[in-house]
Amino acid sequence: MKKIIIVFLLIISILSFSDIIINKNNLIKNIYAGVNFTNVTPYPSNFGNYFEVEDKIIHYNSKPFWVVFGEYTSDWGDFERNLFLSDSLPFVRGITGGYENKGLKIIFGIYDLDFELSDDEWIIQKMPGIDGNSDRRVLDGEKGYSEPYKTFIIHRIEFDSLNFLRVSFNEINLVGGKIPDLVDVNPMGILHNTYGEGYSNAMLGADFSLIPFEKLQIYGQFAMDDFVVPDTEGGATNYKPTSLAYALGARYVYRIDDYYLSPKFEYYKVYTWMYNRWQKLLKFTANYDGVEIPVGFDYGNDMEGFLFGFDLIFDWDLKVKFLAEFYKKGAIDLNTSYDDERKPDYEYWSGPYPPVRDFIKLSLQFEINY
C-alpha cells in the first residue's frame, strides 16, 4: 500500500536574536565558501560579552562560553531528517551551551521532554521486571524508577580545525523516571559512559562533513542505541535488539545574484527497533498535543529510503524549500510492544520488517523572516 503525502507550508517567523543562529542558512553559505560551520542550532553567530532576555529565550555569551536557555527549536546535524536530535520536535525546553576554542567545540544540551503514560504504561515503568525485560534486578520490595520526569541529555565534542573537514562524537543519555543528577547533566562530561541502571537509556552518535572543494559538501551521520553479539550475550535476542541508524548525503551550493541555490540528495537507513523501548519514559520520543514524536528521524523506525530536494535562500530573508521523499516502511512502528513476538526475529532487526509499504512525501515550504 502506498502512502503519499503532499504538504505545502508557509512559515512567517520573527528572528529576534540576531546573535543566535537558529536555521541552516549560515551552514549553506559557508559551504559555498568552502568552510565547515557547526551543524548544531541554536548556536552563536559571533562571540562577545552580552546577556539578552527576550520572549522565551535567555542568551548569555562570554567568549569562549555561551548558553541559550528557554523554549526554542533545536537541530543537531546536516540532514533534513537528523538521526539523534532533530527539529522533528516542534520545540524543546531547556538549555544548550558550549565552549569553543581553536578548532574544538564542546556542546551540550539538556531538555525536558513532555510525555503521556497510560495506566498500563505506568505499571510497566514502576515494575521494570515485567515480561522479563529489565535493566535492574527487582529485589524484595524494590520497584523501578517512576518519578514523572523524562530528560534528554546530549554531550558533543566537535573537531573542525581543518576547514574542509568537521567530525563530531555525541553521547546521548535519556534519563526517565528520575530527576537527573550532576553525573548525568555535567556539561563537560564528554563520553563519560553513564551507568544509570534502570533509569538511563544511552545512545552513541557521530557525524562528519567533508568539503572537498568549494560549494560541494558530503556528509554522514550514525546513531547506535544497542548492538547485540548473540553468541556472547545470553538471551540477548529476546531482550534488546540491535538498533542502528545511519545516513549519507551530498549537496552543492550555487550563488546566483542575491540568492543561494542548494540541491541535495540524502539516503537513510533506520533499523526496525530504533528509538523503541518497553519503558515509555526511556523511549526516545516526546509528546506534543497528544502526538508521540521521535527525537531523531522524523518518521520513526523500520524505514529505508532517500530524499531529494533543494534549498533556495535569498539575501533578503526569504527561504524556499522543496522535498521529494521516497521510503520503504516496515510493519514495526514506535507503538509496537517490546514483547512483540517478532522482536526475536534477528534477521529483520535491520528491517524493514515485512509486509513493507511505500511511503512517499512531497513538500514545498516558504519561510519569511523579519
Distances (CA, A) of 98 to 42, 65, 68, 227: 11, 6, 9, 30
Is 195 within the bounds of a domain? yes
Q: Does 117 fall in a domain?
A: yes
- Is the residue at 344 inside a domain? no
| Predicted pLDDT at 244 | 95
Q: Is the Cβ–Cβ distance between 241 and 349 less than 8 Å?
A: yes
- Res 289 pLDDT > 70: yes
Q: Quickly list H helices, 133-267.
A: 182-185
Report the pLDDT value the prediction gives residue 100, as an integer from 0 to 100: 86
Percentage of residues of the chain with pLDDT beyond 70 = 85
Look up the pTM and report it. 0.90
Domain assignment of residue 3, yes or no: no
Instruction: Give the domain extent around 165.
Output: 18-312
Does residue 342 sit within a domain?
Answer: no
Which helix (H) or strand (E) segment holds residue 28: the answer is helix 25-32
What is the per-residue pLDDT for 140?
47
The DSSP annotation for 272-316 comes to TTTT--SSGGGSSEEEETTEEEESSSTT-SSEEEEEEEEEEEETT
- Digit-coded pLDDT (tens) for 69-78: 999 999 999 9
Does residue 225 lie in a domain region? yes
Grid coordinates in use for 307?
A: 530524499
Q: 150-201, pLDDT tens digit by residue?
A: 999 999 999 988 889 999 999 999 998 888 877 777 766 655 555 666 788 8
- Hey, CA dihedral for 311, 111, 287, 241, is it positive or negative? positive
% pLDDT > 90, the chain:
50
* 26-40, 119-133, 157-171, 281-295: the lowest-pLDDT one: 119-133
Q: Which helix (H) or strand (E) holds 59?
A: strand 57-62
Taking residues 300-309, what's their average pLDDT?
Answer: 96
Task: Tell me the range of 58-67, 303-312, 341-350 where mean pLDDT is highest.
Answer: 303-312
Residue 334 in domain: no
Cell numbers given for 46? 559571533
Q: How far is CA 135 from CA 89, 116, 239, 282, in A?
A: 27, 22, 10, 11
Query: Between residues 247 and 316, which one has the greater pLDDT?
Result: 247
Has residue 174 been placed in a domain?
yes
Residue of 70 and 54 predicted with greater confidence: 70
The total domain count for the chain is 1
Rounded Cα gap, residues 272 and 301, in angstroms: 6
